[in-house]
Amino acid sequence: MLLGSRNSDPRARNPPVFPRYRGEVAGVVRVLVVDDEALVRHALRVFISDDDRVTLVGEATDGSEVVDACRTVKPDVVVMDIKMHEISGIEATRRVLQWNPRCRVLALTTFTTEWRALEILRAGACGYLVKNSTPEQIVDAIVAAHAGDRVVSPEVQERFVRSAIEAHDSPVPETPALSDRERRIIELIAQGLSNAEVAEALHYAEGTVKADIRHINHLWNVENRLQIVLRATEFGIISL
């Protein structure tokens, strides 16, 4: 199921991931939804309309539309898909925060991989939610994000923890024998750039970037981008 559905007693079967925020909220939270799937936008429209803590002020179908939409409707929270046709949610998140650093971006996606979450969190998103969350969990996360909390779905949190443990337990070479290009690739990965964006920034073919990442994985005995970033932090190559 793409988005969790309502039932007669949703909290009994799907307890809330994020506690309902009880602090002071200055008015209703203004929400902009950015997703290229009409079904998802419709579902979120229904979920938001059913909760008096939030109000939907606008929708966009691609990352290329998001800044203009933000200027028009001035949202408190942007609910952002990651994979869209023209501009990804990762780049769109950067643009939103350049427009207004105080705006909160909550990623809502089908991806549960920790490196994908790391990309958009490094781009400035305050939370990462998967689309099988219940309506109550989604709205609670929006309100929590507006209140200043960082919210991440439990299954993604578990992947972060597992990757951190595996990276820590893996044998570490005494000297990270990296080329200057590989070091620069790691720095850009830590900033949340995709392989294509890294290739464009460094003026290399994307295949070259992928080959360098495979070499780093083999050299450091790690398996994914998150573990590369964690290991690079241990070596002092980058700081989080």
Domain boundaries, the chain: 10-158, 170-235
For position 109, what pLDDT does the model report?
87
The percent of residues in the chain predicted with pLDDT above 70, rounded, is: 81
> Does residue 46 surpass a pLDDT of 50?
yes
Q: In angstroms, rounded to a whole number, what is the distance separating the alpha carbons of residues 240 and 236?
A: 10
What was the pLDDT predicted at 8?
A: 38
Query: Mean pLDDT, to the nearest integer, of 25-48?
Result: 89
Burial 57-72 (b: 16+ CB within 10 A, else e): bbbbbbbebbbebbee
Mean pLDDT (the chain, rounded) = 81
pLDDT at 158: 72
Whether the predicted pLDDT of 221 surpasses 90: no
2 pLDDT more than 60: no
What's residue 21's pLDDT?
39
Mean pLDDT of 196-207: 91
Q: Look at residue 14 in the predicted model and tell me its pLDDT.
A: 42
For the stretch 120-146, pLDDT in tens is 888 899 999 888 888 999 999 999 999
Q: How large is the average pLDDT for residues 80-88? A: 87
Of 27-41, 94-108, 134-148, 225-239, minimum mean pLDDT range: 225-239
When pLDDT is averaged across residues 16-37 and rounded to a whole number, the result is 67
For the structural domain made of 10-158, what CATH number should be given? 3.40.50.2300
The rounded percent of the chain whose pLDDT value lies above 90 is: 42
Higher-pLDDT residue of 11 and 96 is 96
The answer, yes or no, to whether residue 161 has pLDDT greater than 80, is no
The pLDDT of residue 104 is above 50: yes
pLDDT given for residue 234 in this prediction: 77
- What CATH code is assigned to 170-235? 1.10.10.10
pLDDT band at 174 (very low <50, low <70, confident <90, very high): low
> Which tokens hold the place of 136?
């109550």
